[in-house]
Amino acid sequence: MKISSKYFFVVMITLVGFIYTGCDQFENVFLNLPINKEITATGNGPDIFERETICFTDYDSFNDNIDDVEAIKYVTSAFFTITATPGLQGTGIIATLYRGDGITPLFTFTMPSAVADDYKNKPLKLVLNQQQIDLLNNYLADYKTNNCFVAELRVANVTGVSGPPYSITGQFEMVVELKLKL
Amino acid sequence: MIKSFVTLFVVSLLFTRLTFAQAGVSLTALPPEEAKEYAKPLATFLGSYFNSGGYYSANLPKEFQFKFSIIGSYIIIPKSQQTFTPNPGLSGYENLDETATITGSTGNVYLGPQGFISYPHGFDVASLPTGIYQAAGSYYGTELLLRFFPKIKVSDSETGFWGLGLKHSITQWINDPPFDISVQVLLNNFSFEYTGDNPKDYVKTDSKNIAVNAHLSKTFDQWFIVYGGVQYESSKIDMDYYFRDPNELYPLLADKVLSTSIDGSNHFRFTGGAAIKLSVLVLNVDLNVTSQFTITSGLSLQF
């Protein structure tokens, strides 16, 4: 075996060494944070509605990583009915998410069916348009200040087999992605 | 907590950059059966890692010989191990699309009768470099190999590692063999435990890795060695962890320390490599065809 192959082999090993040290380090990790809020709206109509405040600080996964959060991004959201006055329906079942001030809406979503039971055990994914997603993500960009929301559940022109009063308990769910630094 | 976990691992596993940090955070979201599938590539990875670098020659002299080696491995995780099909065991959440394993990318979110079930993201890694050191001494054709890192406590966690290998030269029992033959057994154990104050962060892992191999080598001109071998190996992680149930779908399991056992998918390994001896210095590289293809290189001092 010629001496040149010896050097070739040394070069090979050196290259392998460089490959090892040249790999990307883990800089960020991502964590899905599921958020949910039960909302009960009760009243005599014509509209019944209720609001609840949701804050990231209500969730351990956020609090445990609070110092390492670099960004938060909206992933998806959904609504389903837990209980409702028998036959409850209206001209619209509407979910609205506001900024933490409870004044500025981030999105309003009107369910395709205005019958509460249609969403019992059958959650509806709230498909937002790009503008609504951008608005949400812009709000989340300043997550240190904007870490709360107000969620509203409203049934317009409510009627039911029984009542008034009418009542609906629904659950609003949202998943956001936390970008964490290591 | 994450920082301290990372520091701990970098220190304890030398060049290894894989950490349990996020694994711990992510696993708290999964019940045991799903955690097992999510973390399976990690068990395989640890097996690929610790079961590598056991030899670069089958030759063992009758006289006393000592070796100290620094081993680097580059482990490639195949695409098939980047995802798994979840089965959360909940009515209405069947036939789900794939989601990321610990080495995969994006954790999927599924909508069912009880709302969302969100799976953790992975590290998004297709390959990982690792490193380890070891010392071996042999006499009369039998070698004892040791790997050791003492249990140390850093911040809010504790980790330790040990490995043991026993190798015997078959060549010495054969008259004028054309090449050297040896057999070897390797045992490696790696442990990690969260020891901080927050019970919700609790993770304890015990990685057990066993390998049995037969290998042969041929030395040319006293300095160039070609070697290869076949190895049966297994890897397993026993894990206890606090299950937080962030999706609130497992009330009977939530907020408890649960246990699971994760088997790696590495069983057989075929190794081929070469080494050069430059006086007391030995440099070697080998390729390992196993569940996670591994390139290993070593720098050894051999007396």
pTM metric for this prediction: 0.85
Q: How far apart are CA B284 and CA B272, in angstroms?
A: 11
SS3 B264: coil
Q: Which residues of A touch B113 (CB under 8 A)?
A: 80, 121-123
Inter-chain touch A29–B21, beta carbons under 8 Å:
yes
What percent of chain B has a predicted confidence (pLDDT) above 90?
66
**Domains of chain A (ranges plus CATH)?**
27-181 (2.60.120)
Question: Residue A30 above 50 pLDDT?
Answer: yes
Taking the C-alpha atoms of residue B232 and residue A80, their distance in angstroms, rounded to an integer, is 52
Could A12 and B285 be called an inter-chain contact, meaning their C-beta atoms sit closer than 8 Å?
yes
Q: Which residue out of A2, A18, A26 would a mutagenesis test of the B interface target, given it has the greatest number of B Cβ atoms within 10 Å?
A: A26
Q: If phi over 0 gives left and psi between -120 and 50 gives alpha, with beta otherwise, what is residue B200?
A: alpha
Contact criterion met (CB < 8 Å) for B283 and A9: yes
For position A18, what pLDDT does the model report? 47
How do residues B100-139 score in pLDDT, each as one tens digit? 998 899 999 999 999 999 999 988 888 888 888 899 999 9
- In chain A, residues with a C-beta closer than 8 Å to the C-beta of B22 are 26, 29, 31, 180, 182
The one-letter code for the residue type at B240 is D
Residues of B in contact with A20 (CB under 8 A): 15, 72, 74, 129, 131
Here the tokens at position B3 are: 């920082």
Question: Cβ A125–B111 below 8 Å, yes or no?
Answer: yes
Contact A1 B221 (CB under 8 A): yes
**Residue type at B147?**
R
Question: Confidence class of residue A25 from pLDDT cuts 50, 70 and 90?
Answer: low
Choose from B15, B108, B118 for mutation: most chain A CBs within 10 A: B118
Q: How far apart are CA A149 and CA A102, in angstroms?
A: 7
Residue matched to tokens 């080598």: B217
Which one of B97, B132, B297 makes the best mutation probe of the A interface by having the most chain A beta carbons within 10 Å?
B297
- Please tell me which of the candidates B3, B113, B276 has its beta carbon nearest to residue A122: B113
Kindly identify which residue of chain A lies nearest to residue B246, measuring between CA atoms. A34
Nearest to A171 among B115, B128, B224 (CB): B115
Question: Could you tell me if A133 lies within 8 Å of chain B, comparing CB atoms?
Answer: no
Q: How far is A123 from chain B (nearest CA, A)?
A: 6
Alpha-helical regions (H) of B53-146: none
Please state the domain extents for chain B.
2-302
- Note whether B202 contacts A: Cβ–Cβ < 8 A: no
Instruction: Please list the residues that pair with B167 across neighbouring strands.
Output: B143, B184
Could you report the per-residue pLDDT of B128-172, keeping only the tens digit for each? 888 888 999 999 999 999 998 888 777 777 888 899 999 999 999
From chain B, the residues in CB contact with A79 under 8 A are none
Residue B210's pLDDT is 96
Q: What's the confidence (pLDDT) of residue B25?
A: 54
Spell out which residues of chain A touch residue B15, defining contact as CB-CB under 8 Å: 20
Residues A113, A62: contact at Cβ < 8 Å?
Answer: no
Which B residues in the span 213-252 are in contact with A, Cβ-Cβ below 8 Å? Answer: 220-221, 223-224, 244, 246-248
Radius of gyration over alpha carbons of chain B, in Å? Answer: 21
Window 120-139 of B: residues touching A by CB (8 A cutoff) are 120-121, 123, 125, 127-129, 131
**Which structure tokens are listed for A179?**
């970008």
Cβ–Cβ below 8 Å for A29 and B109: no
Q: Which residues 61-120 on chain A approach chain B with CB closer than 8 angstroms?
A: 61, 64-65, 68, 75-76, 78, 80
**For the segment B196-247, what is each residue's pLDDT rounded down to a tens digit?**
888 888 888 899 999 999 999 999 998 999 999 999 999 999 999 999 888 8
Q: What is the tens place of the pLDDT at every residue in B66-93?
A: 999 989 889 999 999 999 999 999 999 9
Contacts 24+ apart (CB under 8 A), B230-233: B230/B268, B230/B269, B230/B270, B230/B271, B231/B51, B231/B268, B231/B269, B231/B270, B231/B271, B231/B290, B232/B267, B232/B268, B232/B269, B233/B47, B233/B51, B233/B186, B233/B209, B233/B266, B233/B267, B233/B268, B233/B269, B233/B290
Angle at A82 between CA A158 and CA A178, to 5 degrees: 115
pLDDT of residue B203: 85
Q: Quick count: other Cβ atoms within 10 Å of Cβ A103?
A: 8
pLDDT digits (tens, 9 = 90+) for A102-132: 999 999 999 999 999 999 989 999 999 999 9
Which residues from B are below 8 Å from A180, CB to CB? 2, 22
What is the C-alpha to C-alpha distance for residues B11 and B14, in angstroms, rounded to an integer? 5
Residue B86's Cβ-side half-sphere holds a number of Cα atoms within 13 Å equal to 25
Q: What is the ipTM of this complex?
A: 0.84
**What's the CA gap between A6 and B222, in Å, rounded?**
13
Read off the pLDDT of residues A65-102 as tens digits, 9 standing for 90 and up.
Answer: 888 899 999 999 999 999 999 999 999 999 999 999 99
- Per-residue pLDDT at B100: 94
Say if the Cβ atoms of B3 and A25 lie within 8 Å: no
What is the token pair recorded at A135? Answer: 């608005």
For residue B253, give Cα distances in angstroms to A43, A138, B28: 37, 37, 11
Res A163: pLDDT: 80
State the average pLDDT for chain A: 86
Note whether B6 contacts A61, CB cutoff 8 Å. Answer: no
